Structure 1
C-alpha cells in the first residue's frame, strides 16, 4: 500500500463509523446561545445510560469472568489510547484507595506511556506491537484479564493488546462504541456501547467517553464486590491514607456495627486502622489478632469471617 492510499483508506473507514458521523442538524451550533448548546449537550448525555442498559448481559458475563480470574490471583489490565487510555488509567488509579488493591493488581496502560496522560504521543496508538511489548513488560499471565478500550473499536493499540493477551491465555474484553468492531471481534467478551454520533463530529471524549467510563466503573466496582471487598454497600477495604478517609473509615464501622464512637476508635486502634478487622472485632467480639486470622482464612471476605466466628 502506498503512503498516499493509506490516508484515503482511513478516510473511507472513518466515514463508516457511527461515532464519526456528521450531523447536519447541528451545523449551526456555534451560532446558538450558550444555554441552548448546554441543553443540547445535556440531552445527548441522557441517552448514554440507555445504551449501556442494552449491553448489561454482556457486561455482567465479562465481570463474572474477570472476578473468577482475579480470585485466582490475576490482575485487571486496561489498555487504550488517547481518551480511552486515560479513562483506563483513571479507573485503575482509583482502586487502591477505594478497595485497598495491592500494587499492580489493577493496571492502566496508555499508548505512549505516562506522558500520554497529559500530552499527545504521536503515532503511539497506531502500533499493536507496542501494546504487546507493554503487556510483556508487566509479565502477563493466563490468570490476568486485559480490557482493550477504544471508542472506534479499530485502534491498533487496543486491538493489539487484546490479540497479544489471547496468545498468552489471558481473558480478554473489547470495549467499543461502534457495532461490528474489530476490537470486540478480537476479544473473548465483546462489549459494544453504541451511543451514536457525537455533538461535535468525531469528538469521542463526549458520549463515547461517558459510556466507557460507566462500563469501566461497573467492571472494577462489581468485580471488587464479587471479591468480597465490600460489606453490603460499604467500602470496608478502604485505605485510610488521609484525614478524610480516616473519618470515612470511622463512619463505615459505625454504619456496619452501630457501635459508639469510643468503641469504634478502640477497635480501629486495636486493628491498625483496618476497617474490616475493626468491624469483625465489634460484631464477633474477638480481638485484633483473631480478626486478622479469621479474615485470612476467609480470603478477606467479611461475611465469611463473621460466619466462621459465629460457628
Structure 2
C-alpha cells in the first residue's frame, strides 16, 4: 500500500495471480495458474504434494480482493468460464499471449525411426504415462521403428521416478533430460511428430512450437488444446487418458496411413485481446494521462 501511495499510479497491473491491496485509479490482475480448476486424484496428490497445495491454496488466494480489479486477465475462454462459475459475473478479459517467433517450418532430420516428442516437465497433470502406455501397446502389437522422447531424466521428483520405474524398461521410451533452447531446436528438427497429452494448461507452448515447425500434432481433446492449436490441418485429437486411442493414431503415423482431423478455431467473445498491444488498449481505456501511464506500472 505504501509504495502505491507514493507512486499514485493510474494503473496497477499485477502479473502473478494475486490481487494486492493497493491505492490506484485502476487495478488489474493476470491469472495464469489453472491449478484450482483441476480435479486432482489421490495418486497425483501423493506423487506431487506441492501441486495439491497449489490446487487448494490458489482457489482461496484468487478470491482475495479480486473484486477490486477493473478486470481479470486470462489466456483462454475456458478459464474465463471457470472464474465466472466460481466467483460470479466478474469482468474477465481473454488475452492471447504474444509469442516469440520460433524457427520453422523446417524439414525433419532424415532417420530410420519415427520420432514422437513430448516436451514437458514432470508434473502430474502433464499425463506423461498415457503416452508411455501407448508406446507399450504398440510394442505389444509388434509395431517397431519408432521412439518416444521425454524431456526428463527420471530423477526430478516422485512423479518422474515413478515414470522411470514403470516405463524405464520400455525400449521405445527415451528419457532425454531437460533440454536447452538450442538442444530443443535440434529435437524439433529430428522429430516426426509432437504429442501433447497434458490434461491442464493455460496455453501449451509445445503445441505452438510444433505447429510453427510444421510438424504433425497428436493432442489431448480438451478445450485449452483446441484453442492453442487454432486453425491447423495436421492435427488429430484423442481422449486425454486413452492410451489405446493414442496408440492407434501413433500407429497410423508410423505406417503412413494417418488421416488428420484438422482443427478450426475462431476468436472468443469480447472482451478479448489477440495480443498484448490490444490488451494494453483495454486496460488503459478512458484512464486519465494514459500516454504517461508507464510510470505507474507496478509488477
Q: Please give the TM-score of this superposition, normalised by the length of structure 2.
A: 0.36
Name whichever structure is richer in strand by fraction.
Answer: 2
Q: Which has the higher helix share?
A: 1
Q: How does the TM-score come out when normalised to structure 1?
A: 0.35
Q: Which has the higher contact order (CA 8 A, sep 6+)?
A: 2
